[in-house]
């Protein structure tokens, strides 16, 4: 069944009056898809929720740059809009994206209340929702981007990415034993410690000067974060597939991780400027491949570029940490140049390692994910997403 994101008539009708006086309509609702379900008013055009900074300029309906007669999505990050810690110490990154994967209250209807509460603690709420492509599956995707000629060639941004769905019940003990906990075991563990990214820290009860436990206004005990205690939880890593701009290049990058519990200290990640196309950079468990690259100056500007992507996701051997079946990637690029249709094959059904060794699969996001400590302003439009 084909799933196509098109603007809902009801959503459009509610903004027509505003659109007559403004060509940009801010979309300021945000959802933490891992830890919370989306409310009805937070769902955008029937198929998206927004993540990242919620300043009015960061994600907007754009009536001035329409796609197939409908408003597109305009994404923008300014110099001061980085709000997240980067991959390296002292680095920052910024995010303003639309996620195709999320859960709503309807996805938990008829289930015990504790199931939603448990999913919040485990950060797996979105595992119960829409937009998931299972590991090892084959899927076709399509989306379009409009890059203005004013965009600085020094930007460092991912504009489309397929992300993994890690399961935090997969843990490593202080002795280095990797095991998958039951829901009850993980909940008990989370009562004893605080997780910062993939690292667990001691959970220490706060006490006043008289040694009495401190409580908040609702009577709940207050805790502080102590030192790392040796436990690790699965958190994920680099996106299995990303389209972006970096170091003066447009690139397509495929990543693979066959390790059962991701090693976050392994920074196997191909550099677009220094890595040859289809020559993977590898470590013991990971592979990072620049599947295609083009100088930023040659990337078409001020027109809609449509990408059509076919992916056969790699199949992994779970605890065995093997490659059961390699993946395949095919990417087509279409646009109009001086009124003539241009069709280019960027990746021609190439075998490639692409995916993660997770129980669950992948989901799509597009927008701006500004990385590498960059604060260079970014602005472009996206639209026309579909998958089947």
Q: Residue 11 has what pLDDT? A: 43
Q: Residue 14 has what pLDDT? A: 43
Per domain, the residue ranges of the chain are 3-168+235-387, 170-233
Quick one: which of 376, 386, 321 has its CA closest to 79?
A: 376
Q: Residue 1 has what pLDDT? A: 46
Q: Which residue has the higher pLDDT, 62 or 91?
A: 62
In tens, the pLDDT along 191-213 reads: 999 999 999 999 999 999 999 99
Q: Residue 19 has what pLDDT? A: 44
Share of the chain above pLDDT 70, in %: 95
Average pLDDT, the chain: 94
In tens, the pLDDT along 242-299 reads: 999 999 999 999 999 999 999 999 999 999 999 999 999 999 999 999 999 999 999 9
Quick one: which of 280, 283, 282, 299 has its CA closest to 291?
A: 280
Quick one: which of 363, 370, 327 has its CA closest to 165?
A: 363
CA 19 – CA 295 distance, rounded (Å): 36
pLDDT > 80? residue 12: no
- Per-residue pLDDT, averaged over 36-52, amounts to 98
Domain 3-168+235-387 has CATH 2.60.120.200: yes
Which residues contact residue 335 at a Cβ distance below 8 angstroms, ignoring those fewer than 6 apart? 300, 303, 304, 305, 306, 341, 342
Which residues contact residue 152 at a Cβ distance below 8 angstroms, ignoring those fewer than 6 apart? 376, 377
What tokens does 212 get?
């009495």
* Pairing assessment for the beta strands 170-172 and 84-85 based on DSSP bridges: unpaired
pLDDT > 70? residue 3: no
CA 15 – CA 39 distance, rounded (Å): 19
pLDDT band at 17 (very low <50, low <70, confident <90, very high): very low
Quick one: which of 370, 297, 288 has its CA closest to 81?
A: 370
Q: Residue 2 has what pLDDT? A: 52
In tens, the pLDDT along 107-153 reads: 999 999 999 999 999 999 999 999 999 999 999 999 999 999 999 99
Q: Residue 91 has what pLDDT? A: 85
Same fold, 3-168+235-387 and 170-233: no
Q: Which residue has the higher pLDDT, 7 or 222?
A: 222
Domain 170-233 has CATH 3.40.50.170: no
Contact (Cβ atoms closer than 8 angstroms) between residue 122 and residue 168: yes
Quick one: which of 105, 110, 99, 157 has its CA closest to 132?
A: 99
Name 232's bridge partners.
172, 199
- Per-residue pLDDT, averaged over 11-28, amounts to 63
The whole-model pTM stands at 0.93
CA 332 – CA 308 distance, rounded (Å): 5
- Torsion angle of C-alpha atoms 241, 242, 246, 251, degrees rounded to 10: 70
- Per-residue pLDDT, averaged over 223-246, amounts to 96
pLDDT > 60? residue 341: yes
CA 107 – CA 102 distance, rounded (Å): 10
- Tell me the backbone φ, ψ of residue 184, rounded to 5 degrees: -65, -40
Contact (Cβ atoms closer than 8 angstroms) between residue 245 and residue 157: yes
pLDDT > 90? residue 88: no
């Amino acid at each position: 069944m084909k799933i196509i994101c098109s603007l809902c008539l009801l959503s459009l009708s509610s903004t027509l009056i505003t659109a007559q006086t403004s060509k940009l309509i801010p979309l300021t609702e945000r959802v933490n898809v891992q830890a919370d379900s989306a409310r009805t008013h937070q769902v955008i055009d029937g198929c998206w929720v927004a993540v990242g900074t919620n300043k009015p300029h960061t994600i907007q309906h754009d009536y001035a740059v329409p796609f197939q007669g409908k408003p597109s999505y305009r994404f923008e990050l300014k110099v001061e809009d980085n709000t997240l810690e980067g991959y390296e110490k002292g680095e920052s990154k910024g995010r303003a994206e639309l996620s195709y994967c999320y859960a709503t209250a309807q996805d938990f209807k008829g289930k015990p209340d504790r199931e939603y509460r448990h999913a919040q603690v485990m950060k797996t709420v979105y595992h119960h929702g829409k937009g998931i492509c299972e590991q090892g599956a084959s899927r076709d995707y399509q989306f379009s981007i409009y890059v203005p000629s004013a965009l600085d060639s020094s930007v460092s941004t991912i504009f489309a990415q397929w992300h993994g769905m890690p399961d935090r019940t997969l843990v490593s003990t202080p002795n280095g034993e990797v095991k998958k906990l039951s829901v009850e075991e993980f909940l008990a563990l989370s009562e004893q410690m605080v997780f910062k990214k993939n690292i667990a820290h001691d959970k220490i009860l706060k006490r006043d000067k008289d040694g009495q436990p401190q409580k908040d206004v609702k009577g709940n005990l207050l805790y502080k974060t102590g030192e790392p205690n040796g436990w690790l939880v699965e958190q994920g890593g680099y996106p299995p597939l990303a389209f972006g701009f970096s170091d003066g290049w447009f690139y397509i990058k495929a990543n693979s991780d066959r390790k059962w519990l991701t090693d976050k200290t392994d920074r196997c990640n191909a550099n677009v400027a220094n890595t040859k196309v289809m020559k993977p950079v590898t470590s013991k468990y990971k592979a990072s491949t620049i599947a295609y690259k083009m100088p930023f100056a040659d990337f078409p500007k001020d027109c809609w570029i449509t990408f059509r992507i076919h992916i056969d996701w790699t199949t992994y051997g779970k605890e065995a940490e093997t490659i059961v079946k390699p993946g395949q990637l095919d990417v087509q690029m279409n646009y109009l140049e001086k009124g003539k249709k241009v069709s280019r094959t960027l990746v021609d059904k190439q075998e490639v390692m692409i995916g993660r060794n997770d129980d669950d699969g992948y989901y799509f996001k597009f927008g701006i994910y500004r990385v590498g400590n960059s604060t260079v302003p970014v602005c472009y439009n996206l639209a026309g997403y579909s998958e089947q």
